[in-house]
Amino acid sequence: MPMVYVLFSALCSVAVSVILKLARRYSVDSRQLIVWNYPVATGLTWLLLDPVFTNLRPDALPWSLYLALALLLPGIFLAIAVSIHYTGIVRTEIAQRLSLSIALLAAFWLFGETVDRGKLAGIGLGFVAIACCIGWHKGSRRGGPRGDTVKTWVYPLVVFFGMGIIDVFFKQVAQHREIPYTTSMLLVFALATLVSLGYLVYHTTAGKRRFSVAAIFWGLLLGIFNFGNILLYMRAHRALPENPSIVFSAMNIGVIALGALVGVFVFNEKLSLLNKIGMALAIVAVLVIAYL
């Protein structure tokens, strides 16, 4: 049963990327689509994760962290959508998975955790894998949106560092042990909803962009799969509390493998030899981090 949770969590993660890619293909505004993801995440967190508010003082909550995450989450989601458009699902998923290297470095240098040589080796491999994955890929000389431009490596890097920073902030939130983590998640998602809706109002008024009804449907679908990824991953950890490394490695490797299959065989994404080496190194890096 735990591995079933991991499998479906990985499927949900890849489904998020597929939705973003298909929505762009059907000319759905990614910025509006991402907005509607957060009301879904807020509602499902409230219904399914039982956040607790009893005996919590508002002045004891880490509001600065909540606000930082509420601002970062929609922005990085948009960067993921743009990265998928310019570089494909495969390389974007790898950038997301290897962002854990940033969180691990922060754990060593900011949170005072003991430096582990095995994990440092895995982090080093992760950075090499990222360099290979954002390097030249097949089709880069053809021009067009997948041409050899700055966008083909800037956006995966933004995703890599942005997701890493978000992981660091969530780790800081988790250190407030007197506050249930699900409660913090609900507040972050609720604030992200307000930020996103504020942006939507600006986007459709001052920005004079047309309000998209189709974006609501795509956004609700995105929110369901995005939350499903979170929920199933949490349940996998609860089912295997003594073996978090198994869940961690299976999840990350599963997403990389499934993302590669979908990207290459469904969307015909082209990978150079360097990109394939980067994908292999990414899997090795996850295994080294998990088990050494």
Q: What is the pLDDT of residues 259-269, one digit of tens each?
A: 999 999 999 98
The pTM assigned to this predicted structure is 0.90
Burial of 54 by CB count in 10 Å (0-12 exposed, 13-18 middle, 19+ buried)? exposed
Q: For 32, what's the count of Cα atoms within 13 Å in the CB-facing half-sphere?
A: 21
Question: Is 126 within 8 Å of 101 (Cβ atoms)?
Answer: yes
pLDDT in tens, 147-188: 446 778 889 999 999 999 999 999 889 888 889 999 999 999
pLDDT in tens, 65-97: 999 999 999 999 999 999 998 889 999 999 999
- The residue whose two tokens read 């097949």 is 138
Phi, psi of 207 (to 5 degrees): -80, -15
Per-residue model confidence (pLDDT) at position 55: 83
Q: How confident is the model at residue 142 (pLDDT cuts 50, 70, 90)?
A: very low
Model confidence at 139: pLDDT above 50: no
Q: How far apart are CA 14 and CA 255, in angstroms?
A: 7
Find the mean pLDDT for residues 205-234.
90
Q: How confident is the model at residue 115 (pLDDT cuts 50, 70, 90)?
A: low
Per-residue model confidence (pLDDT) at position 35: 93
